[in-house]
Structure 1
Amino acid sequence: MLSRISAVRRLPQLTAVPRRFTSSLKEGSVAQSKGFSEKEKAHENEYARRHDAELLHKMKADMEKKKTELEQLEREYQAEAQKAGKV
């Protein structure tokens, strides 16, 4: 019986070999490519413009606040000056 079992042919095992998809570019060359650097520069420029616009908006709001404060102080000064002149 043992001789019959050992006589059975074994099928060869298939091994899967991973395919490597490579190009002629070196590793990490995507970050150095022209298209990638242009896209990165565009994102940086967009961020810088947005940041500058936010700063300008804050500065304008601060200027308006200071103008209203100055107008209020001028009115108070005029009121005090009139009181001092009439006394």
Structure 2
Amino acid sequence: MKTLAIRLEEATHARLTILSKLSGQSVTDTIRTAIDEYLSTLAAQPDIAAKAQALTDEIEREAAEQRSAIQALLSASPAPARRAGKA
């Protein structure tokens, strides 16, 4: 679990506090619920899915480039010299 610190305007904090009390939840639980609901809303948006696919494609391209660079580096490196008398 991660800890997160945020700054809120006093009016927003007061509203959060009173609504949490009225709903019988802690402020922390109210914030967690609000974040979970907002993230679900974001994840359901078609443009977010398209952006996620574009990011996945970019990550795949970068990984392929890095793999190629490593393979080129390893194939271009001379084999370690063997010392006489060592097997």
TM-score range, shorter chain: 0.3 to 0.5
Give the TM-score normalised by the residue count of structure 2. Answer: 0.43
Bigger CA radius of gyration = 1
Higher relative contact order (CA 8 A, sep 6+): 2
